[in-house]
Amino acid sequence: MSDKLINDDNCALAAKPATAGPLTAGGLEGPADIGGLVEFLSLVLDNVYSGIIVCDTNCRILFMNRVYAELLGADPQQVVGEDLDKYFPNTRMPQVLMSGRSELGQRCSLQTDMPMLVNRIPLKIKGQVVGVILQTIFRDYKAMTDLMSRLSSLENEVKYYKTGLGQVLSPLYSFGSIISQSQDMAQVKDVAHKYAQTDAPVLITGATGTGKEMFAHAVHSASPRAAAPFVCVNCAAIPRELLESELFGYESGAFTGASKKGKVGKIQLANSGTLFLDEIGELSTKAQVKLLRVLETKMLERLGGVKPQKVDFRLVAATNRDLKEMMGRGEFRDDLYYRLSTMSVDIPPLSKRGGDIELLVKHFLSASDHGDIQISPEAMEALGSYNWPGNVRELKNIVERAVSLSEDNVIGLEQLPAEVLQMGCASEDLFGNSDSLLADEMARFERAVLERAMRLNKGNMSKTAKILGVSRSTLYEKCRKHRLLAPVAKD
């Protein structure tokens, strides 16, 4: 076999003359003859991590390195010439010699029944099989199982973080989450549900606290992209100078202070899913131009980047501002507005949703930690008369506050804020006469507040004074002024 290797044209090292200078490798020097080369290669193979056995075409051992000898408990010098099946009775080396094809990552066992993973690799010269190599992938099976255990642990960790990321980028609400019995809201939900089936941008408008974000979540949940990411960006919460990089991402070194690794933008993060831009009116005109281009071309270019990337996402935008008025001032681009407003949803304020206040109050109470808490009729009447400038969000906050202040699991007037009790009586009929003097109107308003507060408290002066935030003496004085004391006072 050595003669064949030496005479092979492909063996350049064997062609070197014996008179060449010293052979140096890793600090080792030796004569540059074949014996020195073989000795050097043997030294290398003895110090590799894997066990190695070289056999001829009759499966007789030609070489065994130190690692395999230790595994077999054999002398590497004495095993030369022995049959391989002495150590591996059921070896597949003859099949490899016959087929000429490698068998990689196969399991085998030593005489000690210790399982191992091995490679069986045929040696070929000019296409002819002249021997075979048996190589261990691991020193022992335990090393393999340890590695597999670590890989399994890493895989589970990756799955955990992917699950966490999926939850972060998943919608929290559906159309069933939107509590309402109002006919106007039913029509809005029906239109939004139909829009959800398309892939066009959707613009959601409405006053603060009406539930624009819930509608955005619901549109994604009802869309064909429901299983893909849902990425929320509050444009008002991010400084304008940073908003562009947050949306579009940036390459390494794009600007001073940029991460060396660059950053994936929210648009790219929403690929195949939905991007929700809340308060889109806060976008700078420069960012509006870039967003419009991405919507039209479906190509994204990071800040500092030169190679556009293809993106596929659905845009849902929301605002409580008048975008048409902003267009007139040059603060919002016409082309982006008309691109968004084709499918628009306008959510009515809570004051226009008859019957929803009581329904929502009961929902918030049942969802609280005190599910058995009740609300008095007087308190519910006060809530129903309030005009709710903060809409559903304000109602939820007031109910949560009242729950924390309640006694005996009942919410009464005492647990409601003064503005709810006072503004409830500020109806338009109090100011019907536009020619009245300011002092007259203020007096009428004060009398209405006193009448309503005393009626809700069933004439109890102590409770009425507490609710209005005045002393009992002041309340008595104002009641006498408006001639209210005699007919209603009871304590």
The predicted pLDDT at position 34 comes to 52
User: Lowest mean pLDDT: which of 111-125, 418-432, 436-450?
Assistant: 418-432
CATH number at residue 414: 1.10.8.60
Q: What is the mean pLDDT of residues 148-155?
A: 68
Among 136, 138, 137, 143, which Cα is nearest to 88's?
136
Mean pLDDT of the chain: 80
For residue 472, what are its two tokens?
């009992």
**Does residue 11 form part of some domain?**
yes
Q: How confident is the model at residue 320 (pLDDT cuts 50, 70, 90)?
A: very high
Q: 375 with 327, same domain? A: no
pLDDT higher at 397 or 450 = 397
Q: 239 with 302, same domain? A: yes
**What percent of the chain has pLDDT above 90?**
36
The predicted pLDDT at position 117 comes to 77
Domain boundary among 348, 368, 396: 348
Q: How confident is the model at residue 138 (pLDDT cuts 50, 70, 90)?
A: low
Q: 128 with 180, same domain? A: no
pLDDT in tens, 59-118: 999 999 888 888 888 888 889 999 988 888 888 889 999 999 999 878 776 655 566 778
- pLDDT surpassing 60 at residue 434: no
Angle at 179 between CA 175 and CA 183, to 5 degrees: 90
Q: How confident is the model at residue 345 (pLDDT cuts 50, 70, 90)?
A: very high
Domain boundary among 88, 122, 142: 142
How many beta carbons lie within 10 A of that of residue 290, not counting itself?
18
Note down the domain range covering 371. Answer: 351-488
**What percent of the chain has pLDDT above 70?**
78
Structural domains in the chain (count):
3
Q: What is the mean pLDDT of residues 291-319?
A: 90
pLDDT higher at 201 or 43 = 201
H, E, C per residue of the chain: CHHHHHHCCCCCHHHCCCCCCCEEECCEEECCCHHHHHHHHHHHHHCCCCCEEEECCCCEEEEECHHHHHHHCCCCCCCCCCEHHHCCCCCCHHHHHHHCCCEEEEEEECCCCCEEEEEEEEEEECCEEEEEEEEECCCCHHHHHHHHHHHHHHHHHHHHHHHHHHHHCCCCCCHHHCCCCCHHHHHHHHHHHHHHCCCCCEEEECCCCCCHHHHHHHHHHCCCCCCCCEEEEEHHHCCHHHHHHHHHCECCCCCCCCCCCCECCHHHHCCCCEEEEECHHHCCHHHHHHHHHHHHHCEECCECCCCCEECCCEEEEEECCCHHHHHHCCCCCHHHHHHHCCCEEECCCHHHCCCHHHHHHHHHHHHCCCCCCEECHHHHHHHHHCCCCCHHHHHHHHHHHHHHHCECCEECHHHCCHHHHHHCCCCHHHHCCCCCCHHHHHHHHHHHHHHHHHHHCCCCHHHHHHHHCCCHHHHHHHHHHCCCHHHHCCC
CATH number at residue 71: 3.30.450.20
Q: What is d(CA 297, CA 402) in angstroms, rounded to the nearest whole number? A: 51
pLDDT higher at 41 or 221 = 221
**Does residue 422 form part of some domain?**
yes
The predicted pLDDT at position 21 comes to 39
Q: 316 with 357, same domain? A: no
Single pTM value for the model: 0.58
pLDDT higher at 160 or 315 = 315
- pLDDT surpassing 70 at residue 488: no
How many beta carbons lie within 10 A of that of residue 404, not counting itself?
11
Q: 279 with 234, same domain? A: yes
Q: 11 with 63, same domain? A: yes
